[in-house]
Structure 1
């Protein structure tokens, strides 16, 4: 009998095939969770790598942000230092001169002084002139008094500034002044200007009025008013930085109002506030 056609052998072979299939199915069922975990492990690894990448980016940008903050703080300090230097080096006329820029809280700034001068010309002067006419006095006397009073105020303030320069040893013939002393000198002049601004006009001109001799009480009162207004304003303009002065040379003889335009004398701009020369 041939073994190839043995029924027992064929049956055994089929049984082995069945066992093999069952084994492979069992192995597949066992490996299925393993593959799932394997996949999860891969995803977890990718997630870990992603988080690590994000952490590295966060560290990078944090470092860059700290650097930017440091640079910004350095620039801010440089800017503050620059502003302090500029504040000490810029001419003090910056804060009060109208064609540059002004401190609007300063009541003696250039534009305000010009407004007060215009007010004196347009409002006060017509009243004064009419009072002189009504009293029978020549209005030209009042016009001369206006000019003389502004000139007296200018001269008095020039002498005060000269005395202050000598007090601070700022005369160019004595010694070279330090920058700090010059700044305090200018501050003293500005303080004098502010003291005059807040003073009573009658008190400011008390000594000067005693030298003017007029017996007519009505005219004396008008004269005192003219003198007080013009001397007070003329003093403020003379103490301004740079000083302001009526330009009497351009006055037209035919003008009915003797209030010429205000100017900044060229010799004043060149010398008056150049304390360091």
Structure 2
């Protein structure tokens, strides 16, 4: 019996490694396509960006690879899917709200620049470049550092072991949420059309959609 379980565990690990390799290949291909299909009309400094195709790849990586591992750990610690659903949605919303504030600050700065003798087109390009630079800064940032203190309220209620998993999940969601909000046009997960069915742990929506402000 022990041999049987070892064989099954080995098969599961092998299947997971294969999925990881397949998904990594897809993401690498999308990244390569992004470089080739760069928009030549972008202002200087915007030749490389985190495009929608890459964001889709990041989301699939979160949903298909990282989430199943985190989910199993949380389930084994009796964490409810309802709590996790609320947490995930909270992280994406917090990320969107924070990036909207930063974009508003850029917009205000752009209005100030309009009176400096620059053409409206030049001001528009500078604002686009500022948002692009912000997105690239988020992309290269530590996910844990971005999250900051958003999980402090939970630390008194859960063990450190559980908090490790919650931080991992929350930081992944917040990081991706920031990148989605900084896309042009902004993107968000399609929570409204998500139907989880009988599985309460089927939390992540299938698709993303353009955000309507």
Match for residue 202 of structure 2 among 248, 257, 261: 257
The residue aligned with 2:38 is: 103
Q: Residue 245 of structure 1 aligns with which residue?
A: 188
How do 1:31-46 and structure 2 match up within 5 A?
Answer: none
TM-superposition CA deviations, 1:248-270 (whole Å, max 9, x none): 110114254222110013x35xx
2:87 alignment counterpart: 145
**1:123: which partner in 2?**
65
Q: 1:192 aligns with which of 134, 137, 140?
A: 134
**How high is the TM-score relative to the length of structure 1?**
0.54
Q: Structure 2 unaligned segments of length 5 or more: list them.
A: 1-30, 40-46, 113-118
Greater helix content: 1
1:15 equivalent in structure 2 = none
CA RMSD across the alignment: 2.6
- Which SS does the other structure have where 1:207 is aligned? coil
CA displacement, residues 37-64 of structure 1 (integer Å, 9 cap, x when unaligned): xxxxxxxxxxxxxxxxxxxxxxxxxxxx
Q: 1 CA distance for matches of 2:153 and 2:179? A: 22
Please tell me whether the aligned partners of residues 214 and 220 of structure 1 are also in contact (alpha carbons under 8 angstroms): no
- Give the conservation status (yes or no) of the 8 Å contact 1:102–1:109: no
How has the CA–CA distance of structure 1 residues 193 and 211 changed in structure 2, closer, same or farther, with 3 Å as cutoff? Answer: farther
**Relative contact order (alpha carbons < 8 A, sep ≥ 6): 1 or 2 greater?**
2
Structure 1 257/182 Cα, relative in aligned 2: closer, same or farther at 3 Å? same
Q: Matched residues in 2 for 1:102 and 1:159: separation? A: 30
Instruction: Report the equivalent of 1:221.
Output: 164
Q: Which has the larger radius of gyration?
A: 1
Shift of 1:221: 1.1
Q: What is the 5 A alignment of 1:1-277? A: 102-103=37-38, 106=48, 108-169=50-111, 178-215=120-157, 216-254=159-197, 256-260=201-205, 261-265=207-211, 267-268=212-213
SS at 1:168 equivalent:
helix
For residues 108 and 165 of structure 2, what CA distance do their matches in structure 1 show? Answer: 37
